[in-house]
Structure 1
Amino acid sequence: MEYKNILLIKMSSLGDILHTLPFAAALRQRFPKAKITWLVHPQFAGFVPDPPVIDEIIYFDKVKFNKMNLLAKLAYFLEMRRLLHSKKFDLVIDMQGLFKSAVLAAISGCSDRIGYCEMREGSGLISKAVCGRHSKDHVIERYLDVARYLGASAEQIVFPLPDLSKETVSVQEKLQKNELQGEYIVVVPGARWKTKEWPAEHYASLIKMIIADGCSVVLAGGPDDTA
């Protein structure tokens, strides 16, 4: 089927957004004339590709949503429902596969809904789980199986990125300010879940070895990682 107006739901987190980029490229390759919209949390939207890969971005503000009372949350979902219905999508692809993304897929007004093989928290009851030959492989390949299901070749893994020229200039200015020259390795010690955190002393040991090997190290993270 030749879809013309597609909604891609992948709201978080950073690593998951990056893993979805090859799927977005394959989706565009398969539907070159379709309008493709990406539903994402605002804090992760910076890595959503520019046109012609993704035409439009819709935001679901999780930070704002989590601070709301029950009535406000219901009102927010009703607002999202009106917005999604107004777009008249003919295909919804839930690549999050969780309860919240399932709710958004359900209220989109689109009856043609699919997702990747690992649909959790009841999302498989809302969107059809697509399981291909890579269902036991890396998540990028699992996502690409959905593109293959839609008719894309997805032979190569491509990472389309937005225009990051401003960010590049900002990074260069920070490096010059700190008189850092030559090659460097970026270390991101923070994680959203405690179960994904590596002990700080392990990072310290690794960084000492990297520096001893003649390479500089740049630490990156958010305000919560400062300590």
Structure 2
Amino acid sequence: MSKKILIVRTSSLGDLVHMLPAMSDIAAHVPGAQIDWIVEENFAEIPGWHRAIRETIPVAHRRWRKHWWSAETRAARAALRRNLDARQYDIVLDMQALMKSIWLVRQTHGLRHGLDMRSAREPLASLFYDVKHTVEFWQPAVTRQRKLAAAALGYTYEGPPDFGLERITDGVEIQPYAVIMPSASRDDKLWPEEDWHKVFGRLREKGLSLKLLSGSPAETARAQKLVQGHPDAEVLPRMSLTEVAKVLAAARIMVGLDSGLTHLSAGLGRPTIGIYKASTPVRTPLEGPAYTASLGERGNAPSAETVLSAVDQALATQAVPLGGDVPA
């Protein structure tokens, strides 16, 4: 007998990537699981990448909150409410544990699972679950999500995380380029330009061209400034998440600041180096089937020499994404 499961986790990019191994675990341990996922509209492509997700239900909370009481927003919220009201689930699993996710959970039908008061980021959220679970807070995010799903659905998982991204990686041939993510959501995450130039030089010595990601005019300007004097470097235009994922899947290596796209690269099975400066990798280390290095710490950025050493180690590996091939 199939079990209908609704996952509630709306954002952000890195957090959604960290969710994917839990979806693989559910599919492996719950026969006939039918998994739907409520997600913020800007990230609605992500659940569809995973082989186990049946349906994605987009929500536009980020957009709606700017004009919460406008006629258009009220109509959109009513449509979502009708959509959820028409569905019956065996389990509704809130994997966000924030009051903004509770707003969605309360509109669903099914046994509601979530974190208990000591485990939730916003403890008040736990008051709205039928079943509460303890998951120790100071663990890697991927581990926390796997443990919560296992507790809610009654199984024990084992083995390394499986991100379930074969829809992106199958048949991909690795190309001789490196993807660079030099921008982040906050300026205090940025790494010095002179250090980036040292990394660019090492990658070019290894025969790799450079593809820089950017998502806004300011990020594009920063990236263009960084690659001045590097004729084999390309600043990519703004793309959809699926298009970016395909660029990452074919890369020989990815070096980036602590960002959702850097975590996606690791999940896709690419050798990935993450540079942490304003955040800690204790709870959000890079995880994936290939070489990863989570370098630095809050208030203590890694040196260029540390990153260069990791680049050398990463390029010495032959790990490939699922279904991919490294040219001989």
Q: Please, what TM-score do these two structures have when normalized by structure 2?
A: 0.56
In the alignment of these two chains, the number of paired residues is: 213
Which residue matches 1:178? none
Which residue matches 2:89? 89
Which residue matches 2:20? 21
Code of the residue aligned with 1:32 in structure 2: it is P
Which residue matches 2:145? 143
Which residue matches 1:176? none
The correspondence of residues 23-172 of structure 1 with structure 2, limited to 5 A, is 23-49=22-48, 52-72=51-71, 73-115=73-115, 117-120=119-122, 122-127=124-129, 128-132=131-135, 135-149=137-151, 150-156=153-159, 157-161=161-165, 163-164=167-168
- Report how far residue 212 of structure 1 moved: 5.7
- Unpaired runs of 5+ in structure 2? 222-328
Which residue matches 1:192? 185
The 1:41/1:217 distance shift into structure 2, 3 A limit, reads same
Between the aligned partners of 1:75 and 1:193, the Cα distance in structure 2 is: 34
Code of the residue aligned with 1:78 in structure 2: it is A
The 1:130/1:209 distance shift into structure 2, 3 A limit, reads farther
The 1:153/1:101 distance shift into structure 2, 3 A limit, reads same
Q: Secondary structure at the match of 2:182?
A: coil
Contact 2:94 2:112 in 1 (8 A): no
Between the aligned partners of 1:121 and 1:61, the Cα distance in structure 2 is: 24
Encode CA deviations 1:145-176: one digit per residue, 9 max, x unaligned.
Answer: 1122122222021110162379x69xx9xxxx
Contact 2:97 2:126 in 1 (8 A): yes
Q: Secondary structure at the match of 1:47?
A: helix
Code of the residue aligned with 1:60 in structure 2: it is V
Q: Secondary structure at the match of 2:86?
A: helix
Q: Secondary structure at the match of 1:23?
A: helix
Code of the residue aligned with 1:123 in structure 2: it is A
The correspondence of residues 209-224 of structure 1 with structure 2, limited to 5 A, is 209-211=201-203, 213-214=205-206, 215-224=208-217
List structure 1 segments (4+ residues) > 4 angstroms apart after TM superposition. Answer: 49-52, 71-75
The 1:56/1:152 distance shift into structure 2, 3 A limit, reads same
Encode CA deviations 1:37-74: one digit per residue, 9 max, x unaligned.
Answer: 01112322222245751111100124542442424445
- Cα RMSD of the aligned pairs, angstroms, is 3.1
- Report how far residue 5 of structure 1 moved: 1.4
- Report how far residue 200 of structure 1 moved: 5.5
The 1:135/1:51 distance shift into structure 2, 3 A limit, reads closer
Q: Please, what TM-score do these two structures have when normalized by structure 1?
A: 0.78
Between the aligned partners of 1:213 and 1:51, the Cα distance in structure 2 is: 36
- Report how far residue 137 of structure 1 moved: 1.6
The 1:120/1:89 distance shift into structure 2, 3 A limit, reads same
